[in-house]
Amino acid sequence: MQLSGVIITYNEERNISRCLASLLDVCDEILVLDSFSTDQTEAICRSFGVRFEQHPFEGHIQQKNEALQRASHPWVLSLDADEALSPALKGAILALKKNAPQAGGFSMNRLTNYCGKWIHYSGWYPDVKLRLVYKADAYWGGINPHDQLMLKGNAFQQHLKGDLLHYSYYTKEDHYKQIAYFSEIASKELFARKKKTTLPLIILKVAAQFMKSYLFKLGFLDGIAGWHIATRSAYATYLKYTLLRKLWQHA
Protein backbone atom coordinates (compact mmCIF):
# COMPACT_ATOMS: atom_id res chain seq x y z
CA MET A 1 0.00 0.00 0.00
CA GLN A 2 1.88 3.07 -1.27
CA LEU A 3 0.50 6.20 0.41
CA SER A 4 0.73 9.90 -0.45
CA GLY A 5 -0.01 12.49 2.21
CA VAL A 6 -1.41 15.71 0.72
CA ILE A 7 -1.96 19.12 2.33
CA ILE A 8 -3.04 22.46 0.87
CA THR A 9 -1.55 25.57 2.48
CA TYR A 10 -1.59 29.34 2.57
CA ASN A 11 0.41 31.10 5.29
CA GLU A 12 0.42 28.10 7.65
CA GLU A 13 3.77 28.64 9.38
CA ARG A 14 2.05 28.28 12.76
CA ASN A 15 0.66 24.80 12.03
CA ILE A 16 2.50 23.04 9.23
CA SER A 17 5.44 21.59 11.22
CA ARG A 18 3.16 19.63 13.53
CA CYS A 19 1.13 18.31 10.59
CA LEU A 20 4.18 17.20 8.59
CA ALA A 21 5.89 15.59 11.59
CA SER A 22 2.85 13.38 12.19
CA LEU A 23 2.96 12.11 8.58
CA LEU A 24 6.67 11.31 8.25
CA ASP A 25 6.47 7.72 9.53
CA VAL A 26 3.22 6.95 7.72
CA CYS A 27 3.44 8.31 4.17
CA ASP A 28 5.68 7.23 1.31
CA GLU A 29 5.34 10.74 -0.12
CA ILE A 30 4.20 14.07 1.30
CA LEU A 31 2.90 16.68 -1.12
CA VAL A 32 2.18 20.26 -0.05
CA LEU A 33 0.20 22.28 -2.59
CA ASP A 34 0.62 25.92 -1.62
CA SER A 35 -1.27 29.03 -2.77
CA PHE A 36 1.80 31.30 -2.85
CA SER A 37 2.24 31.83 0.88
CA THR A 38 4.01 35.02 2.00
CA ASP A 39 5.22 33.70 5.37
CA GLN A 40 7.69 30.90 6.23
CA THR A 41 5.43 28.05 5.05
CA GLU A 42 7.64 27.18 2.06
CA ALA A 43 10.88 27.24 4.06
CA ILE A 44 9.42 25.00 6.76
CA CYS A 45 8.07 22.51 4.22
CA ARG A 46 11.37 22.31 2.38
CA SER A 47 13.18 21.68 5.66
CA PHE A 48 11.08 18.50 5.95
CA GLY A 49 12.09 17.41 2.45
CA VAL A 50 8.54 17.17 1.12
CA ARG A 51 7.28 17.83 -2.41
CA PHE A 52 6.39 21.51 -2.38
CA GLU A 53 4.38 22.81 -5.31
CA GLN A 54 2.28 25.90 -5.90
CA HIS A 55 -1.02 26.54 -7.64
CA PRO A 56 -3.35 29.57 -7.69
CA PHE A 57 -6.22 29.24 -5.21
CA GLU A 58 -9.60 28.92 -6.95
CA GLY A 59 -11.57 27.53 -4.02
CA HIS A 60 -11.12 24.93 -1.28
CA ILE A 61 -12.76 22.15 -3.31
CA GLN A 62 -10.85 22.98 -6.48
CA GLN A 63 -7.51 23.19 -4.67
CA LYS A 64 -7.98 19.88 -2.87
CA ASN A 65 -8.98 18.12 -6.09
CA GLU A 66 -5.82 19.52 -7.71
CA ALA A 67 -3.73 18.16 -4.83
CA LEU A 68 -5.48 14.80 -5.04
CA GLN A 69 -4.67 14.45 -8.72
CA ARG A 70 -1.02 15.44 -8.23
CA ALA A 71 -0.41 12.70 -5.66
CA SER A 72 1.98 10.06 -6.99
CA HIS A 73 0.64 6.99 -5.18
CA PRO A 74 -2.70 5.17 -5.54
CA TRP A 75 -3.67 5.77 -1.90
CA VAL A 76 -4.01 9.31 -0.55
CA LEU A 77 -4.25 10.64 3.00
CA SER A 78 -5.56 14.21 2.96
CA LEU A 79 -5.03 16.54 5.92
CA ASP A 80 -5.50 20.24 6.56
CA ALA A 81 -2.44 22.11 7.81
CA ASP A 82 -3.99 22.54 11.27
CA GLU A 83 -4.52 18.78 11.68
CA ALA A 84 -2.23 15.97 12.82
CA LEU A 85 -2.46 12.21 13.38
CA SER A 86 -2.82 11.00 16.96
CA PRO A 87 -0.50 8.10 17.94
CA ALA A 88 -3.48 5.71 17.87
CA LEU A 89 -4.56 6.82 14.39
CA LYS A 90 -0.98 6.62 13.13
CA GLY A 91 -0.79 3.04 14.41
CA ALA A 92 -4.07 2.14 12.72
CA ILE A 93 -2.84 3.45 9.36
CA LEU A 94 0.50 1.67 9.66
CA ALA A 95 -1.32 -1.59 10.43
CA LEU A 96 -3.57 -1.02 7.42
CA LYS A 97 -0.56 -0.56 5.13
CA LYS A 98 0.62 -4.11 5.90
CA ASN A 99 -2.56 -5.55 4.38
CA ALA A 100 -4.42 -5.23 1.09
CA PRO A 101 -7.35 -2.89 1.91
CA GLN A 102 -10.65 -3.86 0.33
CA ALA A 103 -12.50 -0.61 1.04
CA GLY A 104 -12.29 2.42 -1.22
CA GLY A 105 -11.78 4.76 1.72
CA PHE A 106 -11.32 5.00 5.46
CA SER A 107 -12.91 7.48 7.83
CA MET A 108 -11.68 8.65 11.24
CA ASN A 109 -12.93 10.70 14.19
CA ARG A 110 -11.72 14.29 14.38
CA LEU A 111 -11.06 15.77 17.83
CA THR A 112 -10.84 19.56 17.94
CA ASN A 113 -8.76 21.72 20.24
CA TYR A 114 -10.47 25.05 20.86
CA CYS A 115 -8.37 27.76 22.55
CA GLY A 116 -6.41 25.10 24.44
CA LYS A 117 -9.32 22.79 25.35
CA TRP A 118 -10.25 19.50 23.66
CA ILE A 119 -13.94 19.61 22.73
CA HIS A 120 -15.90 16.36 23.23
CA TYR A 121 -19.45 17.74 22.77
CA SER A 122 -21.02 20.82 21.13
CA GLY A 123 -21.55 18.81 17.93
CA TRP A 124 -17.79 18.88 17.34
CA TYR A 125 -17.00 15.28 18.24
CA PRO A 126 -16.64 12.66 16.86
CA ASP A 127 -16.93 14.75 13.65
CA VAL A 128 -16.24 11.75 11.39
CA LYS A 129 -14.14 12.59 8.33
CA LEU A 130 -13.30 10.50 5.26
CA ARG A 131 -9.61 11.28 4.69
CA LEU A 132 -7.82 8.12 3.51
CA VAL A 133 -8.92 7.04 0.03
CA TYR A 134 -8.02 5.04 -3.02
CA LYS A 135 -7.31 7.89 -5.41
CA ALA A 136 -9.22 6.48 -8.38
CA ASP A 137 -12.37 6.07 -6.26
CA ALA A 138 -12.49 9.53 -4.70
CA TYR A 139 -13.04 13.23 -5.34
CA TRP A 140 -13.65 16.41 -3.34
CA GLY A 141 -17.18 17.79 -3.43
CA GLY A 142 -19.51 19.79 -1.21
CA ILE A 143 -20.09 23.55 -1.26
CA ASN A 144 -17.25 26.00 -0.63
CA PRO A 145 -15.92 26.55 1.96
CA HIS A 146 -17.29 23.28 3.36
CA ASP A 147 -15.44 20.74 1.22
CA GLN A 148 -16.08 17.02 1.60
CA LEU A 149 -14.09 14.03 0.37
CA MET A 150 -16.42 11.57 -1.37
CA LEU A 151 -16.27 8.10 -2.90
CA LYS A 152 -17.43 7.28 -6.39
CA GLY A 153 -19.98 4.66 -7.42
CA ASN A 154 -20.10 1.50 -5.35
CA ALA A 155 -16.89 2.10 -3.41
CA PHE A 156 -17.45 1.61 0.33
CA GLN A 157 -15.64 2.91 3.40
CA GLN A 158 -14.52 1.57 6.75
CA HIS A 159 -13.64 3.34 10.00
CA LEU A 160 -10.21 3.57 11.64
CA LYS A 161 -9.47 3.78 15.36
CA GLY A 162 -7.76 6.85 16.75
CA ASP A 163 -8.35 10.58 16.37
CA LEU A 164 -7.42 13.15 13.79
CA LEU A 165 -6.28 16.03 16.01
CA HIS A 166 -7.61 19.39 14.85
CA TYR A 167 -5.97 22.54 16.26
CA SER A 168 -8.71 24.91 15.15
CA TYR A 169 -8.44 28.23 16.97
CA TYR A 170 -5.79 29.51 19.36
CA THR A 171 -7.72 32.66 20.36
CA LYS A 172 -11.23 34.09 20.06
CA GLU A 173 -9.82 36.52 17.47
CA ASP A 174 -8.82 33.53 15.33
CA HIS A 175 -12.39 32.24 15.52
CA TYR A 176 -14.00 35.55 14.56
CA LYS A 177 -11.54 35.97 11.69
CA GLN A 178 -12.44 32.53 10.36
CA ILE A 179 -16.16 33.21 10.79
CA ALA A 180 -15.85 36.36 8.68
CA TYR A 181 -13.82 34.54 6.02
CA PHE A 182 -16.11 31.51 5.74
CA SER A 183 -19.33 33.55 5.99
CA GLU A 184 -18.36 35.66 2.99
CA ILE A 185 -17.57 32.59 0.88
CA ALA A 186 -20.72 30.74 2.00
CA SER A 187 -23.01 33.70 1.33
CA LYS A 188 -21.65 34.05 -2.21
CA GLU A 189 -22.15 30.32 -2.82
CA LEU A 190 -25.77 30.57 -1.61
CA PHE A 191 -26.33 33.64 -3.78
CA ALA A 192 -24.94 31.83 -6.83
CA ARG A 193 -27.45 29.01 -6.14
CA LYS A 194 -30.32 31.57 -6.01
CA LYS A 195 -30.99 30.95 -2.32
CA LYS A 196 -32.86 33.69 -0.45
CA THR A 197 -33.73 34.45 3.16
CA THR A 198 -35.73 36.88 5.30
CA LEU A 199 -35.06 38.62 8.61
CA PRO A 200 -37.51 36.40 10.58
CA LEU A 201 -35.91 33.30 9.05
CA ILE A 202 -32.45 34.55 10.02
CA ILE A 203 -33.57 35.02 13.63
CA LEU A 204 -35.03 31.51 13.64
CA LYS A 205 -31.86 30.00 12.19
CA VAL A 206 -29.64 31.82 14.71
CA ALA A 207 -31.73 30.62 17.66
CA ALA A 208 -31.84 27.08 16.29
CA GLN A 209 -28.06 26.99 15.84
CA PHE A 210 -27.46 28.07 19.44
CA MET A 211 -29.96 25.56 20.84
CA LYS A 212 -28.50 22.77 18.74
CA SER A 213 -24.91 23.41 19.81
CA TYR A 214 -25.41 24.25 23.47
CA LEU A 215 -28.36 22.04 24.45
CA PHE A 216 -29.07 19.27 21.96
CA LYS A 217 -25.36 18.56 21.30
CA LEU A 218 -24.53 18.93 25.03
CA GLY A 219 -22.24 21.91 24.57
CA PHE A 220 -22.77 22.89 28.20
CA LEU A 221 -20.66 19.85 29.15
CA ASP A 222 -17.69 21.54 27.49
CA GLY A 223 -17.88 24.33 30.08
CA ILE A 224 -17.16 27.94 29.13
CA ALA A 225 -15.66 26.74 25.83
CA GLY A 226 -19.02 25.16 24.97
CA TRP A 227 -20.77 28.48 25.62
CA HIS A 228 -18.32 30.34 23.40
CA ILE A 229 -18.70 27.77 20.62
CA ALA A 230 -22.51 27.98 20.75
CA THR A 231 -22.68 31.77 20.74
CA ARG A 232 -20.06 32.16 18.03
CA SER A 233 -21.66 29.47 15.89
CA ALA A 234 -24.94 31.37 16.18
CA TYR A 235 -23.15 34.56 15.17
CA ALA A 236 -21.64 32.77 12.16
CA THR A 237 -25.15 31.80 11.05
CA TYR A 238 -26.34 35.40 11.50
CA LEU A 239 -23.42 36.80 9.52
CA LYS A 240 -23.73 34.33 6.64
CA TYR A 241 -27.41 35.00 6.01
CA THR A 242 -27.12 38.74 6.63
CA LEU A 243 -24.45 38.91 3.95
CA LEU A 244 -26.72 36.89 1.67
CA ARG A 245 -29.54 39.43 2.18
CA LYS A 246 -27.16 42.27 1.33
CA LEU A 247 -26.10 40.52 -1.87
CA TRP A 248 -29.74 40.30 -2.98
CA GLN A 249 -30.39 43.94 -1.99
CA HIS A 250 -27.45 45.10 -4.05
CA ALA A 251 -28.52 42.90 -6.95
Paired strand residues for 33? 8, 53
pTM (predicted TM-score): 0.91
Which residue from 22, 15, 23, 64 is spatially nearest to 41, judged by alpha carbons?
Answer: 15
Q: What is the DSSP string of 115-176?
A: TTEEE-STT-SS--EEEEEEGGGEEEEEETTEEEEEE-TT--EEEEEEEEEEEEESSHHHHH
Q: What is the mean pLDDT of residues 79-89?
A: 98
Rg (alpha carbons) of the chain, rounded to whole number:
19
Paired strand residues for 87? none
**Sequence spans of domains, the chain:** 3-169, 172-250
Task: Give the tens place of pLDDT for each residue, 176-221.
Answer: 999 999 999 999 999 999 999 999 999 999 999 999 999 999 999 9
Decide if 10 contacts 77 (C-beta within 8 A). Answer: no
Q: What is the CATH number of domain 3-169?
A: 3.90.550.10
CA distance 94 to 26: 6
Using CA atoms in the order 41, 29, 109, 139, what is the torsion angle rounded to 10 degrees?
A: 90
For the stretch 53-60, contacts whose Cβ atoms lie closer than 8 Å and that sit 24 or more positions apart, written own/partner, are 57/10, 59/144, 60/8, 60/144, 60/145, 60/147
Decide if 114 contacts 136 (C-beta within 8 A). Answer: no
Task: Give the tens place of pLDDT for each residue, 12-27.
Answer: 999 999 999 999 999 9
CA distance 62 to 69: 11
